[in-house]
Amino acid sequence: MSDKKSVLSSGLGMVLRNKRYIFWFWLLNLTLAEFGTSAFRKSAHAVLDHSLLGDRLVHGFDLAVMINLFARPEFGSMSAMTTPALYFAFLFFLATALFLPGIFAGYASTYRLPREDFFRACGRNLWRFIRLMIVAGIVMGIFAGVLFAINGALVKRAGESTNELLSFEVQMTGLAVIFLVMTVIRIWFDLAETDVVLSDQRAVRKSIWAGLRHTFRSLFRLLASYVVAAVVAGIILVAGIWAWMKLVAPESVRGAFLIAQFTLLLLLIPRFWQRGVAVSYWQQKMMLPVVSVRPLEPRPMEPMGPQPVAVAAGSDPTPVVPSTIPNPPATPESM
């Protein structure tokens, strides 16, 4: 792959060649969401199916009705509603750690990766990915906590100023900085995940340091690519919300479901696009060059044994071989 080729375009090409990964992740997300919201759906049906207030939620959204629904004792506790969702969200986290190695291997492959190789890469890198995600969660949690604390302090300090817009401007600027910093950390660990899988690196710490080193080595290039993908995701989200509000009737549950799921399906494209950017960068900058080994050309072997001797015509062809036995010493004559 040429170094001059854009990682953004090559990453998008990987995504388009492996569209099946997006579909299967969307189907997994939909299945787990169905189980995660079952408790809330069951409680809501038990109350709204026997109340006229349900009509105010079918033909629009009424916040007062929703608050009243949550406050009714027969609806149940909020912990009972949210606990299944948390369990299945954690299950989705494990599924991501399980299947992402196979996706990285499929993106790096120049052919359609067989099912056996996909699941072999998944099983081989599962524990490595779990360790990486734990480290990434700790690092992102620390950075996010510190950055939001600093932003809150700056906004509070700006609120003491006579400029009424200064507080809002400081808050928006702080959120933009937080977004960029967290995106850089995301790039760091995406490169580490890619290196773990494609280099078959057992020592996760080595991939973490390699990802950090290459993140700052090509910071502008990688950050610009990730920001472009994030902007595309924002456009898709805004377009999906607009289509939901303008094209779907309030009472059309099926229409709202189709628009929402189609929007979620499209939102997976920028997410996988960023993974493709990481794989493309790894192939261009982090992959160790393959040295071709050519066998040495065989040298002509020297003939073994005595060399042929040229004999003149008419002479004895028997070669004269010098004796290897020394001659006995001469006997002295008698005096």
Give 241-288 pLDDT, tens digit per residue: 999 888 888 777 788 889 999 999 999 999 999 999 999 999 998 887
Cβ atoms of residues 190 and 103 within 8 Å: no
Is there a single domain that holds both residue 201 and residue 133? yes
Cβ atoms of residues 122 and 102 within 8 Å: yes
Confirm whether 80 is domain-assigned.
yes
Lowest mean per-residue pLDDT among 184-198, 222-236, 284-298? 284-298
Cβ atoms of residues 22 and 272 within 8 Å: yes
Confirm whether 259 is domain-assigned.
yes
Greatest Cα-to-Cα distance within the chain, rounded to the nearest angstrom:
154
Is there a single domain that holds both residue 211 and residue 233? no
What pLDDT, on a 0 to 100 scale, did the predictor assign at position 213? Answer: 94
Is there a single domain that holds both residue 1 and residue 108? yes
Residue with tokens 């099946």: 20
Is there a single domain that holds both residue 146 and residue 69? no
Confirm whether 333 is domain-assigned.
no
Confirm whether 332 is domain-assigned.
no
* One-letter identity of residue 114: P
What pLDDT, on a 0 to 100 scale, did the predictor assign at position 269? Answer: 94
* One-letter identity of residue 216: F
Is there a single domain that holds both residue 108 and residue 135? no
Share of the chain above pLDDT 70, in %: 73
Is there a single domain that holds both residue 82 and residue 228? yes
Lowest mean per-residue pLDDT among 13-22, 170-179, 199-208, 312-321? 312-321
Q: Can you tell me whether residue 216 is helix, strand or coil?
A: helix
Is there a single domain that holds both residue 129 and residue 117? no
Is there a single domain that holds both residue 106 and residue 138? no
Cβ atoms of residues 239 and 202 within 8 Å: no
Residue among 199, 85, 201, 206 nearest 135 (CA): 206
Lowest mean per-residue pLDDT among 88-97, 184-193, 238-247, 298-307? 298-307
Provide the domain limits for residue 92. Answer: 1-121+224-287
Give 170-205 pLDDT, tens digit per residue: 899 999 999 999 999 999 999 999 999 999 888 899
Lowest mean per-residue pLDDT among 57-61, 256-260, 317-321? 317-321
Cβ atoms of residues 118 and 100 within 8 Å: no
Residues in the chain: 335
How many distinct structural domains can be found in the chain? 2
Higher pLDDT, 161 or 178: 178
Higher pLDDT, 198 or 321: 198
DSSP 261-272: HHHHHHHHHHHH
Domain boundary among 197, 217, 237: 217
Domain boundary among 198, 217, 236: 217
Is there a single domain that holds both residue 53 and residue 171? no
Confirm whether 113 is domain-assigned.
yes
What pLDDT, on a 0 to 100 scale, did the predictor assign at position 286? Answer: 86
